[in-house]
Amino acid sequence: MKKAVKSALSLMLALVLMVSVLAVGASAARPETVKRYKNYMSIGDSVGSGFGQPEYNKYGKMLPAEMLGQRVEDSYPDKVADFTGAKLTQRCLPGTTCASWRYWLDDTYSMTEWEWEELENFSFGFYTKDWMQNMKAPIRQAIREADLITVDIGLNDTWYPAIALVYYIAEDGTIGPFDPRETLEKELAKYGTWMTVARNAMYLFAGIAENPVKWGKYVTMLAEMLLNYWTSYANNYDAIIKNIFKLNPDVTVVAPGISNSFRYMSVFPGGLIYQLPLYDGAPIQLTVPYVGIVYIPNELTLTPSLAMVTGGLYDLAYTPARKYYTQAYPGQYFYVDCSKADLIGKNWTIPMYENSSLDDTGFNPHPTKAGHLYFAKQIVSVLPSDPSRPAKLTKGSEGWGVYNDDGSVDTTYTGLGKAKSTYYVKNGLMQTDYSGVVKIGSRYYYIKNGKWINTYNGTVKAKSGKTYRFTNGVAK
């Protein structure tokens, strides 16, 4: 009797089932399905530093030494590291520019005299020349060890060249009855925002009026500053990306797009954004004699508000630079739009460095907690997905499926989804009427009534005639 049962069982396991086979294309990665990475490095400025988040703000400083280079809870690098399972090297350093990062990565380059001097001033004495020099080796080593890097640098490039030049020339001014100018940190502490701005203006005009022998130098510096806006960013960003891949040819790089600092300073509630395509394809890179690299943008962002001020810089220089390298390093460099990130500062205010604040009482163009989560989800969406990591299934308005944060079905997702059991999902919805074989990545999964049968051991014959041998519901 036992022998007969055993024979019948063997026959059943050897039974060849005639089924259809579906090959599933790659879906955009979600936080729960993204590929796992070992070491993740975030390169950037205060946008990714966690500036404005509770853990950062508890020190009450714009640039707290305790938080410099540290992982800040709910910042987007923190979330990306969580989603990818990676060890995070956090190098989003407030106040840094493309020039700063090029200096760290390119031994042939140095910043201008006025950039050097004011970088230390704006960082309240922290970013000294010695400190900058000492950062070169650890930054380069972190790049060598990373298998995932985000590069989010450029927000400060919209204001730093002009403000730094103002401060530099103002140092040449002397106004008899007024107190001598001090460092920015001391000026703000003593006079507050608006008096500091007024004093800078007075000393700027005094510096120009009192030093006619330096007018030629000032004009040259002004021209250099204006050139910085339109071409220096492109040239510096080019050097940064090339040196990253020189240090680590196999690394994956993601460049999140810039979220406009002035977006909410608009007559339209919420900050209207309209993207106008100019031509198909990636931005075009040109090398102009005596100027360097410039880009022809492939789209313009229309924001009928104060955001047009920085929007022109983003569209003509910064965004095209970030997009271009998707074609220079295909499959390794990715760009993702992050223009709709929620920002802390939503009120009309004076968008000046001296008016910066950790909360929304002054100028604060940094992401909220929700904005950081949006950044992180946008970043992982362009990374490869891991077919063995199923998406999260929930019951929503259209039944069981994979849903977006706004409650809509994620129609871009096709693959496996998991609730208590694991199911086949097509266009975001659970497919309980499907039985057969589904190919996801390099593996084949045996599906019955939509459910992955992870206990099945046996053979299955496809209608094409090919036979698959399954172990625990999986064939290779």
pLDDT one digit per residue (tens) for the chain, 476 residues: 445 444 444 434 434 455 677 777 767 899 999 999 999 999 999 999 999 999 999 988 888 888 889 999 999 999 999 999 999 999 999 989 999 999 999 999 988 877 887 788 888 888 999 999 999 999 999 999 999 999 999 878 877 777 778 888 888 888 777 778 888 888 888 888 888 888 888 888 899 999 999 999 888 888 877 776 667 888 999 999 999 999 999 999 999 998 877 777 665 555 556 677 888 888 888 888 877 888 888 887 766 666 666 666 677 778 888 999 999 999 999 999 998 899 998 887 777 777 888 898 888 889 999 999 999 999 999 999 998 899 999 999 999 999 998 899 999 999 999 999 999 999 999 999 999 999 988 899 999 999 999 999 999 888 778 899 999 999 98
Q: Considering only CA atoms, which of 348, 337, 344, 347 is closest in space to residue 369?
A: 344
Q: Are residues 361 and 344 in the same domain?
A: yes
Q: Is 405 helix (H, G, I), strand (E, B) or coil?
A: coil
Based on the domain organization, do 133 and 110 belong to the same domain?
A: yes
Does any domain span residue 411?
yes
Give the position of tokens 């999902």. 425
Whether residue 436 sits in one domain with residue 351: no
Backbone torsions φ then ψ of 24, nearest 5 degrees: -95, 125
Which one of 362, 381, 400 terminates a domain?
Answer: 381
Instruction: Provide the CATH number for the domain around residue 373.
Output: 3.40.50.1110
Question: E-strand spans in 289-409?
Answer: 292-296, 299-302, 333-336, 391-392, 394-396, 399-401
80, 226: one domain: yes
Residues 305 and 324 both lie in one domain = yes
At 104 the pLDDT is 97
Q: Phi, psi at residue 128, to the nearest 5°?
A: -80, 170
The answer to the question of residue 403 being in a domain is: yes
Q: Rounded CA gap, 464 and 215, in Å?
A: 81
Farthest-apart Cα atoms in the chain, separation: 112
One-letter amino acid of 410: D
Q: Both 406 and 344 in a single domain?
A: no
Q: Are residues 324 and 377 in the same domain?
A: yes
Other Cβ atoms within 10 Å of 146 Cβ, number: 27
Query: Does residue 141 lie within any of the structural domains?
Result: yes
- Please report whether residue 153 resides in a domain: yes
Closest-CA residue to 91 (of 145, 161, 30, 35): 145
Q: End of a domain among 363, 381, 399?
A: 381
Ramachandran area for residue 415 (φ above 0: left; ψ -120 to 50: alpha; else beta) = left
pTM, full prediction = 0.85
Question: CA dihedral defined by 293, 261, 66, 197, rounded to 10 degrees?
Answer: 100
Strands 443-448 and 474-475: antiparallel
Say how far apart CA 203 and CA 180 lie, in whole Å: 9
Please name the residues in contact with 2: beta carbons below 8 A apart, sequence gap of 6 or more: none
Per the structure, the count of domains in the chain is 2
The continuous run of DSSP H or E covering 445 comes out as: strand 443-448
Nearest to 271 by CA among 323, 337, 348: 348
On whether both 410 and 310 belong to a single domain, the answer is no
Residue 279 burial class via C-beta count within 10 angstroms: exposed 0-12, middle 13-18, buried 19 and up: exposed
In a shared domain, residues 286 and 427: no
Residue 328 in any domain: the answer is yes
Written as one letter, the residue type at 396 is G
Tokens for 396, please give them.
Answer: 């929503």
State the pLDDT at residue 43. Answer: 98
Instruction: Tell me: do 257 and 140 sit in the same domain.
Output: yes
Task: Kindly state whether residue 361 falls inside one of the protein's structural domains.
Answer: yes
Q: What pLDDT score does 267 carry?
A: 59
Instruction: Decide: helix, strand or coil at residue 111.
Output: coil
Are 367 and 399 contained in the same domain? Answer: no
Domain that holds residue 51: 39-172+211-381
Return d(Cα 372, Cα 361) in angstroms, integer: 20
Element (H, E) at 475: strand 474-475
- Which residues does 64 contact at the CB level (< 8 Å), separation at least 6? 56
Sign (positive/negative) of CA torsion 277, 281, 282, 286? negative
- Look at residue 125 and tell me if it is in a domain: yes
425 with 304, same domain: the answer is no
* Separation CA 179–CA 262 (nearest Å): 34
Report if residue 188 sits inside a domain. no
Last residue of a domain, one of 358, 381, 404: 381
- pLDDT attached to residue 387: 83
What is the DSSP code (8-state) at residue 58? T
Candidates 121, 58, 33, 71; CA nearest to 417 is 33
- Sign for the CA dihedral angle at 380, 386, 389, 390 comes to positive
